[in-house]
Amino acid sequence: MTDLKNKILAAVGEDLKVIEQALAENLNPHFNLVSQVARHILFAGGKRLRPLLMVLGARLCGYSGDHTARFSTIFEYLHAATLLHDDLIDGADMRRGRQVANQLWDNSTAVLTGDFLLARGLSIAADTGLCEVIQTIARITENMSQGEIRQLEKKGDLTLSEDDYLEVIRCKTAVLFEGACRTGALVADAKPAAVQALTDYGYHLGLAFQMADDLLDYTQDIASLGKHAGADLRERKLTLPLIHALSRAPKADRQCMIAIFEKRDFSETEFASLVEMLNRHGGIAYTEARAMAHVQQAKTALSPFADSPTREILMDIADYARVRKT
Amino acid sequence: MTDLKNKILAAVGEDLKVIEQALAENLNPHFNLVSQVARHILFAGGKRLRPLLMVLGARLCGYSGDHTARFSTIFEYLHAATLLHDDLIDGADMRRGRQVANQLWDNSTAVLTGDFLLARGLSIAADTGLCEVIQTIARITENMSQGEIRQLEKKGDLTLSEDDYLEVIRCKTAVLFEGACRTGALVADAKPAAVQALTDYGYHLGLAFQMADDLLDYTQDIASLGKHAGADLRERKLTLPLIHALSRAPKADRQCMIAIFEKRDFSETEFASLVEMLNRHGGIAYTEARAMAHVQQAKTALSPFADSPTREILMDIADYARVRKT
């Protein structure tokens, strides 16, 4: 697992450096406060996976121009904008091991900086001069806000089905991955089949990535997660491990899981007992299997492309999405 | 004044009806909560001035197609999105005579509905298929968020200059008016000179409109304003009447005005005494004169266009911006 991560990092090290530089340059904020808050969320050890996907997607489609790094920042800005608004909505304390912006500053500043980063992303998208790119970005923002709203509405709702869950993670995660990959192909002026192939790759990768994220919330400790384990549970967000386990557990265990879910302040012991039940009733294994299936679909989507180092990195990233530990 | 308003309303009655319909149709939200909150802010007696400007701008440039109403909703959605986030940031209680959304529901819902309306606006902009329109919208969102940030940063800052004030109202109001008028011309495929003329018209109209708004905060009672008079003062927002009066008043009155400004809970008597000083030291008259100058510049900007009923309405709207009482 660490080997895979290191292999990917070695292959994309130069790209990440250029993306990092573009993120700082494009920010170019005229105001001190927003710059500070934007930097707090942007430069806190994010993986830059979304911009990287756009850069790699463009390269896979033969693009060799100079603009991918700048355009790729769109996807990190949109992502950061969502995180700022999400943290406020979720009432979370920590993000990537640091205090959240709406606590370090205040709600107003977090909302406005989120708005600014979204606007910055749009401006850069408009600079591509490609209507299809801009339509892609518009669709992303619309889906993401709908996904967040749906998630907020369904908070604490124990009747959430696997389909409801899929719709939420499609909106809040997969469309951004999909959009980044698609934009890479569009910037490279790729043929429709290639655009569609990369779109599919991004979509399935996004689903796998979010499922893995939701698994980590139950299986990882705080040190490597950079936030509290059980955060989803504390925010009363039902994710696939629990949805599946609830559908399979006998009544007594089901009630026990629900009782812990309904508590705002469950103890470590209660959390451990919930995780044990998630394991016992197949919630963890099922989610792993679903994530694996989407990894497989992502990789299959790349089959129209000839073998190349770039294609190999994208295959590796798909594998990594499932096995990552942070 | 009421005559002018009635004349305008008679001339644009049909347009307003179509815009109203498009606002409801385009909203088409898939989720109940967001629909409710969006409707609360959208259908609370707004003047629809921004969409109307786009429709009239397109007509002035000879557009006769069917799409203006739909495209014009962009500007009302962007406006409503900003209001939702603003009310949260300002800590205001009322808007257009109704309780603000972040109090009726909560901050999270207000933030997300704002995000959704912005996204909806972008999606519709993308549907125009016109890159210049989308670039205009991107620039609007960027400016508006920067204006809000600047306003937040400068809250309570007594050193705010007239230039700082102009920059804030340019960003938070004029760019949206400007963008609506410009988009009208772009949709009509107008020549560059006509696009520029309508852009200038919208810019100056927006400045005049905001100055008139800032005047109303000191000169209007709550019944006609739909919010508390003195709201800007209570939020420690320095606007032109006070900026100018502070720059002209002798030390004693200056200190007296500052003392009232520094208070969070000034009495009605204190507010009345501040307004008296704003009058005495020319703050009100100066702001009126500046608003009038921008009304004049807006009207002059329309001189390249031949006389027509549409041009006359736009001229009337410019006059109305200055004299309106709500």
pLDDT band at A153 (very low <50, low <70, confident <90, very high): confident
* Preferred mutation among A35, A88, A122, A236 to probe B, highest tally of B CBs within 10 A: A122
Closest by Cβ to A149, choosing from B31, B89, B137: B31
Number of residues written out for chain B: 326
CA distance A5 to chain B (A): 35
Q: Please give the residue of chain A at the shortest CA–CA distance from B153.
A: A33
Rounded Cα distance between B171 and B148, Å, is 8
- B200 contacts B300 by C-beta, under 8 angstroms: no
CA distance A319 to chain B (A): 32
If you average pLDDT over residues A105-118, what whole number do you get? Answer: 87
CA distance B63 to chain A (A): 22
For residue B40, what pLDDT is reported? 84
Rounded Cα distance between A305 and B318, Å, is 59
CA-wise closest residue to A182 among A125, A229, A236, A127:
A125
Beta strands in chain A (DSSP E): 94-95, 98-99
In the predicted structure, residue B171 carries a pLDDT above the cut 90: yes
pLDDT tens track for B81-98: 998 888 887 777 777 777
Q: What percent of chain B has pLDDT over 90?
A: 61
Instruction: Write down the H helix ranges in chain B.
Output: 2-27, 32-42, 49-60, 68-90, 101-104, 107-127, 131-153, 162-169, 175-187, 192-219, 222-225, 231-234, 240-248, 251-262, 268-280, 283-301, 309-323
Residue A94 phi, psi dihedral angles, 5° rounding: -130, 150
CA distance B158 to chain A (A): 18
In the predicted structure, residue A160 carries a pLDDT above the cut 90: yes
Q: Which residues of A touch B31 (CB under 8 A)?
A: 146, 149-150, 153
Rounded Cα distance between B12 and B5, Å, is 11
Q: Which residues of B touch A77 (CB under 8 A)?
A: none
Contacts 24+ apart (CB under 8 A), B132-137: B132/B186, B133/B71, B133/B183, B133/B186, B133/B187, B134/A126, B134/A131, B134/A134, B135/A126, B135/A127, B136/B179, B136/B182, B136/B183, B136/B186, B137/A122, B137/A126, B137/B74, B137/B78, B137/B179, B137/B183
- A28 contacts A116 by C-beta, under 8 angstroms: no
3-state secondary structure of B95: strand
Q: What percent of chain A has pLDDT over 70?
A: 95
Q: Please give the residue of chain A at the shortest CA–CA distance from B148.
A: A112
pLDDT tens track for A197-252: 999 999 999 999 999 999 999 988 655 555 567 888 888 889 999 999 999 999 99
- B324 contacts B295 by C-beta, under 8 angstroms: no
For residue B33, what pLDDT is reported? 77
The 10 Å Cβ neighbour count of residue A178 is 26
pLDDT band at B31 (very low <50, low <70, confident <90, very high): low
If you average pLDDT over residues B294-320, what whole number do you get? Answer: 97
Model ipTM value: 0.84
Alpha carbon of B277 to those of A122, B250, B281: distances in Å? 45, 11, 6
Q: Which of residues B302 and B326 earns the better pLDDT score?
A: B302
Query: Radius of gyration of chain A from Cα atoms?
Result: 20
- B126 contacts A135 by C-beta, under 8 angstroms: yes
For residue B183, what pLDDT is reported? 98
For residue A150, what pLDDT is reported? 84
Rounded Cα distance between B25 and B22, Å, is 5
Q: Please give the residue of chain B at the shortest CA–CA distance from A88.
A: B108
Mean of the per-residue pLDDT values for chain B?
A: 90
pLDDT tens track for B249-285: 999 999 999 999 998 788 889 999 999 999 999 999 9
Termini Cα distance of chain A: 12
Beta strand pairing status for B98-99 and B94-95? antiparallel
Closest by Cβ to A142, choosing from B111, B112, B119: B119
Residue B149 phi, psi dihedral angles, 5° rounding: -65, -45
For residue B152, what pLDDT is reported? 83
For residue A186, what pLDDT is reported? 97
- A33 contacts B149 by C-beta, under 8 angstroms: yes
Q: What percent of chain B has pLDDT over 70?
A: 95
Q: What is the pTM of this model?
A: 0.88
CA-wise closest residue to B175 among B146, B150, B132:
B146
pLDDT band at A126 (very low <50, low <70, confident <90, very high): confident
For residue A215, what pLDDT is reported? 95
All structural domains of chain B, each given as residue ranges with its CATH number in brackets, are: 2-323 (1.10.600.10)
Q: Chain-centre distance of CA A87, in angstroms?
A: 14
pLDDT tens track for B192-249: 999 999 999 999 999 999 999 999 999 886 555 555 678 888 888 899 999 999 999 9
CA-wise closest residue to B162 among B290, B251, B293:
B290
Rounded Cα distance between B206 and B12, Å, is 19
For residue B233, what pLDDT is reported? 86
pLDDT tens track for A32-81: 777 788 888 888 777 899 999 999 999 999 998 888 999 999 999 999 99
- B149 contacts A118 by C-beta, under 8 angstroms: no
